[in-house]
């Protein structure tokens, strides 16, 4: 159906639907049975809203005629993701991927780290990748997104073809899709997911023809095609930009938390320290001023590295002043300890602390290290490293369940474009048969 006829059907449907729903609300409600009448008309109204949103989607329905000729020098990494699937299945997909005609490198991304799969990959000249040592038990693994992000740090292809372990690609899959990337703003080309083990007349619609059809074609017209996690080609540059932007945002959040914690530490230090000592009050005022200015600079959008560098230097200087001031008190403490008879040998030959030492240590005021510890906590709080992740850069979104959709939405938000290529170029298996 052409765009003209699609839009005509949408307009007629919306007009008739609005007319019907208006009549339902105005003239057909049975208020004697409102408990069932109102919910029914609300459901019908919701259905009309759903139809209108679907009509908006297909209003820009785009039927592409095919991609231009692919760039001959484009480098491609083909990723086959697996965890615990049958080895024969994985190797069938991997060997089919090897036969893709455009020059490429084929990689098996084994999240199960199986030695037998590594051996099979090496025997057939396939690349094999598993998680690095950075992915310890103390950091989140992020499932498939983590597997792909790990591989992105090891490989170098300009473009990535992502396949699940059961999805056998056609030899011309890259020849028919890479040409879209001649447009430097295209970051994603998605093709349909098709199951070869589903009957042609499947009454359950397992092939999702509505989604891999009008919905994706409509979203393509709005430059909003979904990334569905596999059977897709992505531009590495876009993913790495996405990861870097995400890293900067996480770092900014970390700095904000650190500065908030720093000011809190200073307030606690003021309560616990002897504020009659001018030097302690001066040091805490200087640290608070540094953190306050850093927060203002952060809000103003100044470079994060410069903000953290300046505030660290000022805090380091303040701590050094306090340490130098306390050195005399520390020296007095050491002299006091040296003057004490700390212990003597008891009757059983075991050293025993003397009564003199106990009395002096209980009666004497030692150097005020509480304020120093509070200031040191400021330095610890300003640690902006992503120690909570295996790697600082996460190109693919790691939001559970919806990481593929989140990745596409973030790329679109950054100005990248997407393409939906409506042609079956890989054949998988329906989930119930995996």
pLDDT digits (tens, 9 = 90+) for 25-55: 999 999 999 999 999 999 999 999 999 999 9
Q: CB under 8 Å, gap of 24 or more: what pairs does 88-96 form?
A: 89/165, 89/166, 90/117, 90/165, 91/120, 91/124, 92/168, 93/163, 93/164, 93/165, 93/166, 93/167, 93/168, 93/169, 94/121, 94/124, 94/126, 95/124, 96/168, 96/169
Q: Is residue 71 part of a domain?
A: no
Q: Is residue 387 part of a domain?
A: no
Provide the percentage of residues in the chain whose pLDDT is more than 90: 56
Task: Examine the domain organization and report whether 220 and 94 are in the same domain.
Answer: yes
Task: Examine the domain organization and report whether 173 and 303 are in the same domain.
Answer: no
CATH code for position 171? 3.90.550.10
Could you give the dihedral angle defined by the CA atoms of residues 287, 293, 298 and 302, in that order, rounded to the nearest 10 degrees?
Answer: -120
State how many domains the chain has. Answer: 3
427 vs 340, higher pLDDT: 427
- Asked if residue 91 has pLDDT above 70, the reply is yes
Task: Examine the domain organization and report whether 330 and 367 are in the same domain.
Answer: yes
Task: Examine the domain organization and report whether 375 and 403 are in the same domain.
Answer: no
At 259, the pLDDT band (50, 70, 90 cuts) reads confident
d(CA 82, CA 127): 13
d(CA 234, CA 101): 18
Task: Examine the domain organization and report whether 399 and 376 are in the same domain.
Answer: no
Q: Produce one character per residue of 388-412: b if its CB has 16 or more CB atoms within 10 Å, e if not.
A: ebbbebbbbbbeeeebbebbbebbb
Q: Is residue 386 part of a domain?
A: no
The strand pairing partners of 273, in sequence order, are none
Task: Examine the domain organization and report whether 92 and 239 are in the same domain.
Answer: yes
Q: What is the DSSP letter of 198?
A: S
84 vs 318, higher pLDDT: 84
Task: Examine the domain organization and report whether 29 and 173 are in the same domain.
Answer: no
Q: Is residue 12 part of a domain?
A: yes
d(CA 278, CA 286): 12
Residue-wise pLDDT for 186-245, tens only, equals 999 999 999 998 888 888 888 899 999 999 999 999 999 999 999 999 999 999 999 998
Task: Examine the domain organization and report whether 176 and 268 are in the same domain.
Answer: no
Structure tokens at 369: 């290290």
351 vs 88, higher pLDDT: 88
Task: Examine the domain organization and report whether 377 and 403 are in the same domain.
Answer: no
Look up the domain containing 30 and give its range: 3-59
Q: What is the pTM of this model?
A: 0.79
Task: Examine the domain organization and report whether 235 and 377 are in the same domain.
Answer: no
Q: Is residue 68 part of a domain?
A: no
At 302, the pLDDT band (50, 70, 90 cuts) reads confident
Q: What is the DSSP letter of 62?
A: -
Q: Is residue 348 part of a domain?
A: yes
Place of tokens 């106990």: 358
């Amino acid at each position: 159906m052409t765009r003209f006829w699609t839009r005509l059907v949408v307009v007629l449907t919306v007009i008739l639907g609005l007319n019907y729903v208006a009549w339902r609300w105005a003239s057909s409600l049975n208020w004697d049975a409102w408990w069932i009448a109102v919910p029914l008309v609300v459901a019908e109204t919701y259905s009309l809203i759903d139809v209108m949103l679907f009509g908006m989607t297909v209003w820009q329905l785009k039927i592409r005629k095919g991609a231009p000729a692919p760039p001959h020098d484009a480098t491609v990494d083909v990723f086959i993701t697996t965890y615990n699937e049958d080895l024969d299945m994985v190797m069938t997909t991997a060997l089919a991927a090897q036969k893709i005609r455009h020059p490429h490198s084929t990689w098996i991304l084994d999240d199960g780290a199986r030695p037998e799969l590594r051996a099979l990959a090496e025997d057939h000249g396939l690349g094999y990748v598993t998680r690095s040592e950075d992915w310890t038990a103390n950091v989140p693994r992020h499932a498939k997104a983590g597997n792909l992000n790990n591989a992105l740090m090891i490989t170098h292809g300009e473009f990535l073809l992502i396949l699940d372990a059961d999805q056998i690609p056609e030899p011309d899959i890259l020849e028919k899709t890479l040409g879209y990337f001649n447009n430097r703003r295209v970051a994603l080309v998605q093709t349909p997911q098709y199951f070869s083990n589903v009957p042609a007349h499947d009454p359950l619609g397992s092939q999702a023809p509505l989604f891999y059809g009008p919905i994706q074609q409509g979203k393509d017209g709005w430059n909003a095609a979904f990334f569905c996690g596999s059977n897709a080609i992505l531009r590495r540059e876009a993913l790495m930009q996405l990861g870097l932007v995400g890293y900067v945002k996480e770092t900014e959040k970390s700095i904000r938390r650190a500065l908030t914690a720093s000011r809190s530490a200073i307030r606690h230090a003021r309560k616990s320290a002897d504020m009659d000592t001018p030097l302690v009050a001066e040091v805490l005022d200087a640290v608070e001023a540094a953190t306050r200015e850093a927060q203002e600079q952060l809000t103003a959008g100044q470079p994060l590295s410069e903000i953290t560098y300046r505030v660290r230097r000022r805090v380091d200087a303040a701590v050094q002043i306090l340490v130098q001031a306390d050195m005399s008190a520390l020296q007095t403490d050491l002299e006091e300890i040296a003057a004490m008879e700390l212990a003597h040998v008891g009757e059983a030959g075991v050293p025993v602390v003397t009564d003199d030492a106990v009395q002096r240590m209980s009666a004497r005021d030692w150097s005020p290290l509480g304020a120093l510890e509070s200031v040191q906590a400021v330095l610890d709080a300003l640690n902006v490293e992503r120690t909570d992740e295996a790697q600082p850069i996460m190109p693919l979104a790691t939001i559970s369940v919806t990481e593929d959709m989140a990745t596409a939405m973030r790329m679109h938000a950054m100005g990248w474009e997407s393409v939906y290529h409506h042609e079956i170029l890989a054949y998988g298996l329906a989930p119930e048969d995996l």
